[in-house]
Amino acid sequence: MSTITWITARGLFGRRRFLLLLPLPLVLLGLAVLCRSLGVDPGQWGPAVLVGLGLAVVLPVVALIIGTGVLGAEIDDGTVVHILTKPLPRWQIVLPKLAVAAGVTAATVAVPIYVAGVLADSVRLGLALAFAAALGALAYSALFLALSLVTRRPVLLGLVYVLIWEGLLGNFVSGTKVLSIQQYVIALADRLAPTGLLEATVSVPLASVMTALVSVGFTGLAINRLRSFSVAGETS
């Protein structure tokens, strides 16, 4: 598993798509610093920057770029054959890749959103946002990793989920929030650091259970789907 983890991390940092991770977190951090330096009331910029940008855009988009790339890129270029020929249980392939995806996503997002939370309110809010974002990174990564194995257009479907389901429908159809990872993250962060800057719309027990179910369920789907791949990298 350590070999798979090393190969995945090296491949991820060696691809150009990794450069796509940097702009959004920097924009989040820059806006928070700018608003704080200008003395703008956190009540005016906090929700827009922390939730509207940080949790609704930066977290899922970074997770989408990484989650669909740790295995999907290998399927596209055919290098997945080298992994499939190894006598390894499929879970020993999926879990290290999920760990890399979730870890890199969490590290990329947690630092700027922690700083933004501190600038907007307090260290407690910053830590709450970073912790909740890390849990969200795991759930998003499991979802997007599974999508890369069940469809040839994982990025497109991922964007549909993030932009239409969580973004558009989430603002007008309250029932969709029950199946929104973004809402789970908000609820968990608000529970750890109650503040008027966050507005939870789902309960903490629901958010906790659903985050676990999404993470475990889509990880299981990815493992099962990988079992159906032949050495040619196609489903058998």
User: At residue 231, does pLDDT exceed 60?
Assistant: no
Q: What is the pLDDT of residues 111-158, one digit of tens each?
A: 999 999 999 999 999 999 999 999 999 999 999 999 998 988 999 999
CA quadruple 3, 227, 149, 161: dihedral sign:
negative
User: What's the pTM value of the predicted model, to 2 decimals?
Assistant: 0.90
User: At residue 54, does pLDDT exceed 60?
Assistant: yes
What integer pLDDT is reported at residue 79 of this predicted model? 60
Q: What is the mean pLDDT of residues 18-25?
A: 82
User: At residue 78, does pLDDT exceed 50?
Assistant: yes
Q: What is the mean pLDDT of residues 201-225?
A: 95
105: pLDDT confidence band, cut at 50, 70 and 90? very high
What integer pLDDT is reported at residue 236 of this predicted model? 45
Better pLDDT: 132 or 91: 132
73: pLDDT confidence band, cut at 50, 70 and 90? low
- Mean pLDDT of all residues in the chain? 88
User: At residue 86, does pLDDT exceed 80?
Assistant: no
What integer pLDDT is reported at residue 32 of this predicted model? 96
- For a pLDDT cut of 90, what percent of the chain falls above it? 66
d(CA 72, CA 63): 13
Tokens describing residue 104: 């890199």
What integer pLDDT is reported at residue 14 of this predicted model? 65
Better pLDDT: 1 or 164: 164
Strand partners of residue 61: none
Q: Which residues of 123-146 are buried (b: 16+ CB within 10 A; e: fewer)?
A: eebbbbbbbbbbbbbbbbbbbbbb
d(CA 7, CA 13): 10
| Cα atoms in the Cβ-side hemisphere of radius 13 Å centred on 189 | 36
